[in-house]
Amino acid sequence: MKQPSEHDRRTVPRGLVAGAAAMAAALLAGGCGGGQRTGAGPAAGGRPAATEAARLPQATTATTVTGLPRDTAPFATNDGTVVHPRRPVPVSAAPGGQPVATLPDTQLGGPTWVPVVESRPGWRRVLLPSRPNRVTGWIPDAPGSLDIARSTQVVRVDIGDRRLTIEDSGRRVGTWTVAVGAARTPTPTGRTFLLASLAPAKPTFSPLILPVGAHSDTLDTFGGGPGTVAFHGWPDASVFGKAVTHGCVRVPKDALARLAKVPLGSPVIVTA
């Protein structure tokens, strides 16, 4: 399996598409993500035709999808397999089932890479970036439909210890004291993944925003976006080691630089 290229997994260029720029601005508004929470229900039919597929909700960080299973092993580490749909693909609750959403090939101005949590012949069950947290779905693995790779890196966040750890091939390559969600706006726990890498168009308190495929459990919207949780920097080092954010994880400068090297789709496991 090929490893994601630097182009596939690295920062969106500073000439961001409008959606990515808006998301970066929303994430930066208060140190966390935000926006309108969008409801979406199942659509009828089997594998959708083009017009039918267009009516299905897209599985993005801005949407809520229903009728799909939740992750049954929310603190497990998968084998590192990540996939990128070469074109939008239908998402079902079971292999061969009725599509209820579409996973687009791009998210926030960059390629969509999602982790595989289960495989069956011709099908992959993946973590999705939508609400509810830890929602999963089955996508077809037809010849030529997916780019398949393996990430050797895992990001771990320990809420209680306020610690961020990055592992590569099971070896710890760095650990840092970070700031996590406050009691009323906690950082959600469980298994998620690195969704995107956004470089703000204008100078701000963080040169890079790294959204993950999880959302605040207490805020439906924040700062004009969908409450997306992210890693980002912070200029005041006194916050590190404290529970003070709206759900995001604020990290030191060297931690952010190391996180920037983690391939998109890599698992992020947050424990209490």
Would you state the pLDDT for residue 38? Answer: 32
Domain architecture of the chain: domains with CATH: 37-150 (no CATH), 153-271 (2.40.440.10)
pLDDT at 12: 33
Q: Cis omega (within 30 of 0) on the bond before 42?
A: no
Residues of the chain with pLDDT under 50: 1-4, 6-18, 30-31, 33-47
pLDDT at residue 25 in the model = 57
